[in-house]
Amino acid sequence: MNPLVLAAEEGAEHAVELAAGGAATQWAGLMLVSPFVAFLLIIWLGKNMKYKGGEFAVAAMGLNLVIATILFFQNAQGGILNDTHIFEIGRIGLFEGRDLVFELGWMVDGLSIMMYWVVAFVGLLVFIYALGYMHGDVRVTMFFASFSLFAGAMLILVGAPNLIQLIIGWEGVGLASYLLIGHYWEDLDNVRSGNKAFLTNKVADVGLILGAIFLGMGIGDFRFTHINEAAAAGEAGLQTVAVAGALLMFLGAMGKSAQFPLHIWLPDAMAGPTPVSALMHAATMVTAGVYLMARLFPVYQYMAGEAEILGGIITVRGLMVGIGAITLLAMGLLALVANDLKKVLAYSTVSQLGYMMTAVAAGGYTAGLFHLFTHAFFKALLFLGAGSVIHAVHSNNMTDMGGLRKDMPHTFRTFIIGSLALAGIIPLAGFWSKDEILATLDYEGYTFVFWVAVAGAFVTAFYMTRAIALTFFGTYKGHGHPHESPTIMTGPLWVLAVPSVIAGFLNVPGLEFGSFHNFTTWLAARVVPLGDHHPEAPDWGLAAIGLGAAVLGIALGWLVFGRDADTQEARDRLEIPVLYPLLRAKYFMDHIAWAIVGFTMGPAARAMNWVNTYILDGIVNGVGAITMALGRFVYGGVDQRGIDGFFNGVAMASDAAGSAMRKLQTGRVQQYAAGFMVGALVLVAAVAIFR
């Protein structure tokens, strides 16, 4: 094991003094392994345990949280940077005598430490919650095995020191999500949802893999440290490679982080158990695309970002910002008409991922990742709260809810906290992180996108007010007797509520906590120091704009949905002509996707079948017929009549000669003596005559 300790470039903004991190960085590799050990133990022993193997999953995440917390505090007090490769899995020769090496290991820097801690902290709470939520469900052992695989694959991804390992984790997350989304496979719709998620991501994964090939082959190395160093140095001849690789990588990120138009899989992924939705939307999978953009941020910042594409119409960075802006507003609007509580939160996640992607693309590395950090807490809280409601009323649909604040006080109060944080209400975590995104957009000159983001803040507050009113206020419209969830489920809600309130203070401009640096400083521990903008003090004018939009959204939402009615449909009475029918049709994006799939499965498939049957099969059958004719000629003419005839003739002649000679071998001495005398006389006569 040969850790490579790297130092930050002097003089760069946010540069910090970096250290190796001591023993904790060497033990960091355990975080990548422990969920897979739990996976094996669950399969082996899980069925005989009280929680069907969930105990192993919780223990693995608990161990990870201990290691991640040690790294978190060490890095917050002084930057840590350690790039460890433990062994080589392959090597190929390149031009100019270079070798392209395939390695496995782990990265410990500001970005990976943040993700280690988020995955471990949120993952542990979600796993504990799942012990109660999945009790008595079907295939619980299989669920926890797949769930551990899910968390482990995400840790392989975020801990990857190179593109090859990242792809391994990336595909592992995709596989585990497929298993979890389709967990209730008895319902065909759930199977279709899993297929849709898997195949949509496979389309995007083509970009990821091709982008990795472009960057790896072009730079001659798959290591992130070397790729980012080459980008920051602006090495000659790499511009084209960087632009192509950056665009292809962004396509991969669009799939995992559900950016428009590849967002269509994420709402359908709600078919899986609610703990899956919570972990997927808060700390794993959907954050992977944003993480990838952040890991390769120097490529976009120094080399590819300002490159012109599409005939000079737009830059790479402009394209990314545009897609992120469309996602944050258009997907938020879809939550206005969703009746499934989990799908409201799913569209909310897509919208918030749009905020993160927009910020990173605009140059706000810290702003985008700080929102990822805070969003993990309150979105996990909201999904687990939704799961608690679903667990009580046995329905996902808000038409079967209402008035639950009285029967479910813990779920109600924590759901309110999560909703206010998501809406960006001061002083909760979402206010500070969303405000930093607005400040970044304003500073970078993206004025139009800034106002799109403000509109997104209004929409977020509006649809969350609708969800709260329809779920917790009025009278109960469902069936049965709703009840509060057990402590094993409500406990994680209250724990997540704490960082949903206070996590935003970790990056308030100008606020320090003694030796504990703020988020911007410890996130900057990486091989290529970043120069993204971070204000010295809060811009209260910009903050007031975002806060005002959120407050207005809450006020109007309550005005529209606050009053009770005989039915939930009567309460949910808002109808905006043209817009709402368009939203219910989901912008016809599913129709377009299914049209493409239908064309592929219909006319295109039939055309390929015709080509296969009448052209390819014709060629193959023709070659086969010719081969058979040649075979018959060679066998019948050359082999049987020629070669075999010759050897058979020789054999027959030999046999005839042998038969004739055999008659002379009688075994009688008198005949041999007579023959000898006759021969001798013939010989004497011949000598006499011819002499």
DSSP string of 90-106, one letter each residue: EEEE-GGG-EEEEEEEE
Tell whether 124 is covered by a domain: yes
**pLDDT tier for residue 611 given thresholds of 50, 70 and 90:** confident
Model pLDDT, residue 92:
65
Q: In terms of domains, do 263 and 231 share one? A: yes
Model pLDDT, residue 87:
66
% of the chain residues with pLDDT over 90: 42
For 573-585, write each residue's pLDDT tens digit.
888 899 989 999 8
Tell whether 133 is covered by a domain: yes
Model pLDDT, residue 231:
83
Q: In terms of domains, do 57 and 163 share one? A: yes
Cβ atoms of 404 and 415 within 8 Å: the answer is: no
515's tokens? 């030796």
State mean pLDDT over 107-126.
Answer: 93
Cβ atoms of 122 and 380 within 8 Å: the answer is: yes
Q: In terms of domains, do 222 and 128 share one? A: yes
Model pLDDT, residue 3:
40
Model pLDDT, residue 310:
74
β-pairing verdict for 99-108 and 82-93: antiparallel
Residues 6 or more apart whose Cβ sits within 8 Å of residue 685: none
Model pLDDT, residue 560:
92
State mean pLDDT over 329-339.
Answer: 93
Q: In terms of domains, do 579 and 635 share one? A: no
**Which residue's structure tokens are 């190179």?**
162
Q: In terms of domains, do 643 and 583 share one? A: no
For 276-316, write each residue's pLDDT tens digit.
988 888 888 889 999 999 999 988 888 777 777 777 788 88
If 0-12 CB within 10 Å is exposed, 13-18 middle and 19+ buried, where does residue 28 land? Answer: buried
d(CA 593, CA 586): 12
Model pLDDT, residue 21:
59
Number of residues assigned to the chain: 691
Asked if residue 378 has pLDDT above 90, the reply is yes
Among 137-146, 545-554, 614-623, the range of highest mean pLDDT = 545-554
Q: In terms of domains, do 563 and 675 share one? A: no
Model pLDDT, residue 236:
59
85's tokens? 């490769």
Q: In terms of domains, do 291 and 142 share one? A: yes
State mean pLDDT over 384-404.
Answer: 90
Identify which has the larger pLDDT, 118 or 222.
118
DSSP of 1-60:
---EE--PPTT-TT---EE--THHHHHTHHHHHHHHHHHHHHHHHGGGSTTTTHHHHHHH
Q: In terms of domains, do 266 and 205 share one? A: yes
Cβ atoms of 54 and 127 within 8 Å: the answer is: yes
Model pLDDT, residue 96:
58
β-pairing verdict for 99-108 and 314-315: unpaired
Range of the domain at 613: 603-690
Q: In terms of domains, do 657 and 551 share one? A: no
Asked if residue 2 has pLDDT above 90, the reply is no
Domain end, chosen from 574, 598, 622, is at 598
State mean pLDDT over 50-79.
Answer: 90
Mean pLDDT score of the chain, rounded to an integer? 85
The mean-pLDDT minimum among 31-45, 328-342, 543-557, 661-675 falls in 661-675
Model pLDDT, residue 382:
96
Model pLDDT, residue 667:
67
The runs of H, that is alpha helices, within 187-315 are 188-219, 224-233, 239-256, 265-268, 274-282, 288-295, 297-298
Question: How many CB atoms lie under 10 A from the CB of residue 270?
Answer: 26
Tell whether 511 is covered by a domain: no
Tell whether 518 is covered by a domain: no
Q: In terms of domains, do 581 and 676 share one? A: no
SS3 content of the chain, % helix, strand, coil (to 5): 70, 5, 25
Identify which has the larger pLDDT, 687 or 501.
501
140's tokens? 């619980």
For 471-514, write each residue's pLDDT tens digit.
999 899 888 788 899 999 999 999 999 999 999 999 888 777 76
State mean pLDDT over 619-643.
Answer: 81
State mean pLDDT over 657-666.
Answer: 69
Tell whether 513 is covered by a domain: no
Q: In terms of domains, do 60 and 152 share one? A: yes
Question: How many CB atoms lie under 10 A from the CB of residue 611?
Answer: 12
Domain end, chosen from 535, 566, 598, is at 598
Cβ atoms of 449 and 362 within 8 Å: the answer is: yes
% of the chain residues with pLDDT over 70: 91
- Among 472, 481, 462, smallest CA distance to 415 is for 472
The mean-pLDDT minimum among 64-68, 180-184, 236-240, 651-655 falls in 236-240
Tell whether 458 is covered by a domain: yes
Tell whether 416 is covered by a domain: yes
Model pLDDT, residue 10:
38
Tell whether 175 is covered by a domain: yes
Q: In terms of domains, do 576 and 641 share one? A: no
State mean pLDDT over 233-243.
Answer: 75
**pLDDT tier for residue 453 given thresholds of 50, 70 and 90:** very high
Say how many domains are in the chain.
Answer: 2
Stated pTM of the model: 0.83
Domain end, chosen from 598, 620, 637, is at 598
